[in-house]
Copies of this chain bind each other. A is one copy, B any other.
Amino acid sequence: MPAPPEGRSELALTHRSGLRRLKERGTHDRTIVDTILDEGLICHVGVEDGGTIVTPMAYARVGDRLYLHGAPANRTLRLVAGGAPACITVTLLDGLVLARSAFHHSMNYRCAILFGTGSTVEDLDEKRLASAALLDHMAPGRSADARPPTPAELRSTLIVRFPIEEGSAKVRGGGPVDDAEDLSSPIWAGQIPLELMARPCVAEEDLPEGTALPSYAQSYPSRRSQP
């Protein structure tokens, strides 16, 4: 499959990325996919290793690529770096949906599911860019504050690029959808919205006196966009 032009607005529709059911919840819209990728903090990487293995990893998006990183001994990452077909899923859990009937209970979520093959980043400049993106994805601005990676550190980090090219997003929002005959039952029904929130930061005890507390640590933003 040819690489998509930068800024392509839809993910490729293929057999495996085709939305098979609940079509009203599925989309190939890149804006929605990117919003989910940018709001999430971890992805789940699936790859074949004599059987499927699903591993949580940090990541960052830069344009039409995801970057993953880890130690060169990380087996899942090595497989993805080596071009094994992989699936990368980012899921944001937005809430619990309590219906009158057990049957119609659900969850509100947004997920992006990407398919593709990764490749190893060898160039030190691209590794620097990916390293900065990974830090800034965790905490915007952090890469300007942290001590930058040395060439030796960059060489001892495995960084993998993965194309945002084939896949889909699925979104469920709103309240429960109960059967008409249940609506008069005196059973509470509604949503319990969930949000990944930061608690007060915990500074290392041995920071030199006068070390400034950066704003992203002082008041870390909720990852959940306001509905």
Contacts and interface: CB of A to CB of B under 8 A. Distances in A.
B46 A52 contact: yes
30 contacts: A21-B74, A41-B93, A42-B91, A42-B93, A45-B54, A46-B54, A48-B52, A51-B85, A51-B87, A54-B54, A54-B88, A55-B113, A96-B138, A101-B149, A102-B135, A102-B147, A102-B149, A102-B153, A105-B138, A107-B138, A146-B187, A183-B206, A188-B211, A188-B213, A188-B217, A192-B202, A193-B198, A194-B198, A195-B198, A196-B197
A65 interface: no
Contact of A203 (B96, B107, B135, B189): B189
A201 B192 contact: yes
A53 interface: yes
Complex copy number for this chain: 2
The A interface is mostly helix, strand or loop, or mixed, namely mixed
B192 A153 contact: no
Given A41-B93, A89-B44, A103-B153, A214 B194 contact: no
Nearest to A14: B51
Contacts of A143: 102
Contact of A48 (B48, B86, B107, B212): B48
